[in-house]
């Protein structure tokens, strides 16, 4: 696992740890922007789920742990897809 992926995984774990089921959307924007930056370092395609989530949160007051976890699962799946050999 390269350094960028390791840092991304650590930030996702930290982000999801100790979250309530319902969360103020404004409190997750800065951590999501950090995750987006790390995901972009891995590959721009890895950052797409974070971009979608950030866009969905515009104008909203609340989000859920399920919504955040789902987006982070998509990021992890995108990282895993990057590791697959091409042309197979």
Asked, for residue 88, whether it belongs to a domain, the answer is no
Asked, for residue 50, whether it belongs to a domain, the answer is yes
Number of domains in the chain: 1
pLDDT (average), residues 48-74: 97
Asked, for residue 85, whether it belongs to a domain, the answer is no
pLDDT in tens, 14-43: 999 978 999 999 999 999 999 999 999 999
**CA distance linking residue 73 with residue 69, whole number of Å:** 6
Question: How many CB atoms are located within 10 Å of the residue 17 CB?
Answer: 7
Asked, for residue 73, whether it belongs to a domain, the answer is yes
Asked, for residue 86, whether it belongs to a domain, the answer is no
Asked, for residue 15, whether it belongs to a domain, the answer is yes
Contact status, residue 8 vs residue 36, Cβ threshold 8 Å: no
Contact status, residue 29 vs residue 11, Cβ threshold 8 Å: no
Write out the residue range of the structural domain in which residue 64 sits: 3-80
Q: How many CA atoms lie less than 13 Å away from 21 in the CB half-sphere?
A: 0
């Amino acid at each position: 696992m390269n350094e960028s992926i390791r840092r991304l995984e650590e930030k996702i774990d930290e982000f999801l740890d100790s979250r309530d089921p319902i969360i103020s959307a404004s409190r997750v924007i800065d951590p999501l922007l950090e995750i987006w930056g790390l995901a972009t370092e891995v590959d721009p395609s890895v950052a797409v789920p974070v971009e979608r989530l950030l866009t969905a949160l515009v104008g909203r007051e609340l989000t859920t742990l399920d919504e955040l976890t789902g987006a982070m699962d998509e990021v992890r799946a995108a990282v895993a897809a990057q590791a697959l050999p091409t042309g197979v």
